[in-house]
Structure 1
Amino acid sequence: MTYTTQDFNYELPDDLIAQTPLADRSASRLMVIDRETDKIKDTDFKHILDYLEAGDGLVVNHSRVIPARIFGVKPDTGGHLEILLLHNTQGNRWETLVKPAKRAKVGTKISFGDGELTAEVVESLEHGGRIIEFYYEGVFLEHLEKLGQMPLPPYIKERLEDPDRYQTVYAKENGSAAAPTAGLHFTEELLQAAKAKGVELIPLTLHVGLGTFRPVSVDRIEDHDMHAEFYHLSAESAERINRIKANGGKITAVGTTSVRTLETIAQENHGEVLPQSGWTKIFITPGFEYQVVDHLITNFHLPQSTLMMLVSAFYDRNHVLAAYAHAVEKRYRFFSFGDAMLLL
């Protein structure tokens, strides 16, 4: 069946877009959907372990968000620029988005923090981005931690008082421009309780790019050009996933980023989960055959987004839209700091 972008649209009141995180991460609400019966249950995230069994695997993306939004000045004109780092291309060169882009022609010099960090625009990209080369002494990330800000999505208008609330408690590998938000609901206590129950916590890495928030601008979804994101799955994590599957356990993916990594690897290896690194542009839409993921924990996503399509491929588009209508009726909180859904 051919789908249009409009097929994944829904109405969302602005006041349901969560602007700030809850004081207690696990106090988020949780919508549990049984895909066999199509029944919906409304509960709280702190009860997530009721749906995980000993011998199951909980796959988490331990990518860490870097303070990727930095503000610079053009020394020759005094003009101000906002730079958003997307990903490191090679050496000290980064693919970026610059505002205003028209002020960032190739050859433009930029200074940050009174010259603590300097840069030059070395290439202009088709989609309006820029390749920027940075110059500095010491460690680049230390400069970013001092000069940068968390790159919150455009639908969050409130200031984030504690930057750690846009990180998962298990975040480890620096490199994301946005948080893998399904994991924001987990606390250390919940993870310890999962371990005590016999549920294995299995890490992987997918560095989230800003393409996650890029709207689908074409009518036919098959015409959409998917963004690329870097991923890595270790030999240990691959072995644990395979062992769990072989023993009849279930793999619960925490977030769409975990899904994209696992299903990319399976797709490239005839269904096998192997240790692997690379760049994925996988675009999961209805009709896709999932090979690894049994259950999915995810937040509520933007209308007409690729993530709505991924979730609809895991369940069923009409049932997903009905679940979203239920979430609106019950006043769930949406998007990055919002509530969660568990698809069984």
Structure 2
Amino acid sequence: MKNIVYMDHNATAPIYPAVVDAMTHALSHVGNPSSVHRSGREARKLMEEAREQVARLVNVPSDWVIFTSGGTEADALALNGVDVDRVLVSSVEHAAVMQARDDLEVLEVDKNGVVSLEALEKALKGDDRATLVSIVGANNETGVIQPLKEIVEICHAHGALIHSDAVQLAGKCDFDMQSLGLDLISLSAHKLGGPQGVGALVKRAGLTLTPLNKGGGQERSMRGGTENLSGIVGFGAAVEEKRDFSAIKALRDELEVQIKALGAVVFGETVERIPNTSYFAIEGMASERQVMALDLAGVMVSAGSACSSGKVKASHVLKAMGVKDELAGSAIRVSLGWNSTKEDIDFFVQAYTKIVERVQARKTSHSNAA
């Protein structure tokens, strides 16, 4: 049995050994990709090979890919770089989108966290203002996948642009940006077994974008600053790794059978989800205490998003879904990945069962005392 079981891949996935090798090679190379001499040209070649690899992940031409420092910067560039009069987002977006602007208009979702197509249609109908809609591809907490095809059709029918934060979706499911008709998407390397600190905004041809970083002319003047060559090479290497998500889904489903037998409620289980994610709760078990207790048992999980300065806060996603506070305050997320095993599932279930039994024993004791 492992001493440590890591089940927080949606926060950051363990890096692939092949990615470490690729980055080590890139780090040993001297050369700025913008330099015209031989070393610079060789660095540029490494970077453009990685750009092609990332482009293939989402089936786009390589010149659509703009490398950034991560998904958060990509979201900020999308929401602030396009010249529009208003921006619509769903109520279950990642903080990277929710905090990108102060003037966002928020669309409601249903009890599963799926954006209301009726609300989107109503918000766009009869409004001639230039509009960008940003809808997350798959929620980082629940794993729920949004109906992007239908959303794109509604947006384009009303002349609106559509961006999707695809950080959790791309690489975990079949994803084709061009077939879906999306105008912009955001990606991140470290969710896929690549390095932290590198991502991409993918922008379709013909769409004008104003850069946030205006110095140096890098990334076709879309993002000034010397490129993170080793990180970009690692990003490319990560997307080349083959993942068996049917096996990962089987592990996730097995976990859910066992935790539901203990009384857990699984959020979003009746709609399409990415195959590695389970967000669930048993009322009366505080999220933060569960995360700490599991940590002491050697299991790494989260209470939702990892972008809250290390603190467990009430989930705005569950609130938007109409989940009552008592249940939402007991939610934890398990997210699996390329190195997850059945042994990990068994280890987690054993540790989680002990926590549930301790809580139930305390409730029984208090009830008898009363």
- Which protein shows a greater Rg? 2
Structure with more helix by fraction: 2
